[in-house]
Amino acid sequence: MTTIAFIGLGNMGGPMALNLCKAGHSLTVFDLVPEAVDQLVAAGAQSAANARAAVEGADFVISMLPAGRHVASLYLGSEGLIASLDASTVLIDSSTIDAATAREVAAAAGEAGIGMLDAPVSGGVAAAAAGTLAFMCGGEAEVFARAKPVLEAMGKNIFHAGDHGAGQVTKACNNMLLAIHMIGTCEALRMGVDNGLDPVVMSEIMQASSGRNWSLEVYNPYPGVMESAPASNDYQPGFMVDLMVKDLGLAMDTAESTDSSTPLGAMAATLYSKHAENGYGQLDFSSIIRALGD
Ligand code: NAD
Rounded to whole angstroms, how far apart are CA atoms 5 and 264?
Answer: 40
User: Cα(125) to centroid of ligand 1, in Å?
Assistant: 11
Per the prediction, the chain carries an average pLDDT of 97
Would you put residue 32 in left (φ > 0), alpha (ψ -120 to 50) or beta? Answer: alpha
Question: Which domains can be identified in the chain, with CATH numbers?
Answer: 3-163 (3.40.50.720), 169-293 (1.10.1040.10)
Q: Give catalytic status of residue 171 as yes or no.
A: yes
Quick one: pLDDT at residue 277?
A: 98
Residue 16 has φ and ψ, to the nearest 5°, of: -65, -45
Ligand 1 pocket, mutate which of 6, 7, 9, 11 (most atoms under 8 A from CB): 11
Helix (H, G, I), strand (E, B) or coil at 12: coil
Quick one: pLDDT at residue 1?
A: 75
For the stretch 52-103, pLDDT in tens is: 999 999 999 999 999 999 999 999 999 999 999 999 999 999 999 999 999 9
User: Cα(199) to centroid of ligand 1, in Å?
Assistant: 36
For the stretch 259-284, pLDDT in tens is: 999 999 999 999 999 999 999 999 99
User: Cα(7) to centroid of ligand 1, in Å?
Assistant: 10
pTM over cut 0.85:
yes
Longest dimension (CA), the chain: 66
User: Cα(9) to centroid of ligand 1, in Å?
Assistant: 7
For the stretch 100-123, pLDDT in tens is: 999 999 999 999 999 999 999 999
What's the average model confidence in pLDDT over 241-264? 97
Q: Indicate if the pLDDT at residue 238 is higher than 90.
A: no
Task: Work out which ligand 1 atom sits closest to the CA atom of 12.
Answer: 26
CB neighbour list of residue 25: distance below 8 Å, 6 or more residues apart: 1, 2, 3, 4, 150, 153
Split at pLDDT 50, 70, 90, the class of 43 is: very high
**Which residues does residue 89 pair with via DSSP β-bridges, in sequence order?**
none
For the stretch 150-179, pLDDT in tens is: 999 999 999 999 999 999 999 999 999 999
Ligand 1 pocket, mutate which of 12, 168, 245 (most atoms under 8 A from CB): 12
Helix (H, G, I), strand (E, B) or coil at 219: coil
Q: Indicate if the pLDDT at residue 294 is higher than 70.
A: no
Select which of 22, 156, 171, 246 is catalytic.
171
Q: Indicate if the pLDDT at residue 193 is higher than 90.
A: yes
What's the average model confidence in pLDDT over 202-215? 98
The residue nearest atom 8 of ligand 1, judged by CA position, is: 10
Rounded to whole angstroms, how far apart are CA atoms 271 and 182?
Answer: 12
Give the containing element (helix H, strand E) for 38. Answer: helix 34-42
The residue nearest atom 7 of ligand 1, judged by CA position, is: 8
Give the percent of the chain with pLDDT over 70: 100
Is 137 within 8 Å of 155 (Cβ atoms)? Answer: no
Task: Work out which ligand 1 atom sits closest to the CA atom of 243.
Answer: 34
Task: Work out which ligand 1 atom sits closest to the CA atom of 125.
Answer: 40
Q: Which residues does ligand 1 sit against, CB inside 6 Å?
A: 7-13, 30-33, 36, 51, 64-66, 70, 74, 95-96, 121, 124-125, 239, 243, 246
User: Cα(188) to centroid of ligand 1, in Å?
Assistant: 34
